[in-house]
Amino acid sequence: MSTLVLFDLDKTILIASPFNHHAFNESISSVYGIHADIRDVPHNGMTDEQIIIATALHYGVPKRVVSRKLDSCKEYMVRYYKQRITPGDISALVGVRELLDALKQRQFTLGLVTGNLEEVAFVKLEILGLDGFFTGGAFGSDDPDRANLIMLAQKRLGKHEQTIYVGDSKRDMQAAKRANVVAFGVASGQTTQDQLMRAGADHAFSSLENTDAILRVIATFSR
């Protein structure tokens, strides 16, 4: 059976905090003329665009101004990442490289479904040397709705008999269910295995460290 495995990025494949926070805060504050801190807004599982909008609205920016300046804010953030991020600002989670390599060797198609803006996503992956594992996907710059992103990635990456989405948040699991794909949760972010299961995960891992165990679970959904 041909299987497409789609991965979320932040807290699933890699960790880029606190740089992510600095990038958002600097971009939103500069473009909208406010002193923003995204930690004031619950944003786990949101796309980059949703985080920008929610934060600006939280600080009282009128909705019409948020919309009018949204593209400028996204462009500012892309420049911020390209100009300022360093290898010391980002790290791959334990086991990720080994898992991606094992999946690639077994002819799985690997893609991304992330709320990151596309250029931001690949800046992060290139620093870690992980960009070569992925043939494409869908990004927060394509659509604010993660379920739509999953379906867009499926369309872009070609027909497969099975699709699995791996993510770390309740929103990831809920989006996978709405897109009618298999949902794998990983408790490497702010959400526990139990919370991921209650949100709709078909299986939840504590981490992506045990490649053999993950491959065995994937095999049960790929028959």
Going by their DSSP bridges, the two strands 3-7 and 137-139 should be labelled as unpaired
- Contacts for 217 with CB less than 8 Å, ≥ 6 apart: 184, 203, 205
**Confidence (pLDDT) at 44:** 81
pLDDT at 221: 86
- Tokens coding 161: 């008999």
Average pLDDT of adjacent 10-residue blocks, the chain of 223 residues: 93 94 97 96 88 96 98 97 96 97 96 96 96 94 92 96 96 96 96 97 97 95 74
Cβ burial, residue 9 (10 Å; 0-12/13-18/19+) = buried
Return the closest-CA partner of residue 55 out of 80, 30, 75. Answer: 30
| Residue ranges of domains in the chain | 3-15+90-221, 19-84
In tens, the pLDDT along 211-223 reads 999 999 999 987 6
For 96-116, the pLDDT digits (tens) are: 999 999 999 999 999 999 999
Q: What is the structure's pLDDT at 46?
A: 87
**What is the three-class DSSP state of 92?**
strand
Tally of CA atoms within 13 A in the half-sphere of 145 that contains its CB: 7
Q: How many CB atoms lie within 10 A of CB 71?
A: 12
Phi-psi region of 19 (alpha: psi -120 to 50; beta: other; left: phi over 0): alpha
Residue 223: the pLDDT is: 64
pTM over 0.85: yes
- In the chain, the amino acid numbered 171 is R
Cite the DSSP H helix spans in 37-169: 48-58, 63-84, 96-105, 118-128, 146-157
Q: Are 88 and 113 in contact (CB under 8 A)?
A: no
Q: Provide the CA 12 distance to its chain's centre, in angstroms.
A: 7
Is 66 in contact with 111 (CB distance < 8 Å)? Answer: no
C-alpha distances out from residue 27 to 36, 51, 179, 218, Å: 9, 12, 31, 39
Say which residues have a Cβ less than 8 Å from residue 146's Cβ, sequence separation at least 6.
45, 47, 113, 115, 171, 172, 175
Instruction: Say if domain 3-15+90-221 classifies as CATH 3.40.50.1000.
Output: yes
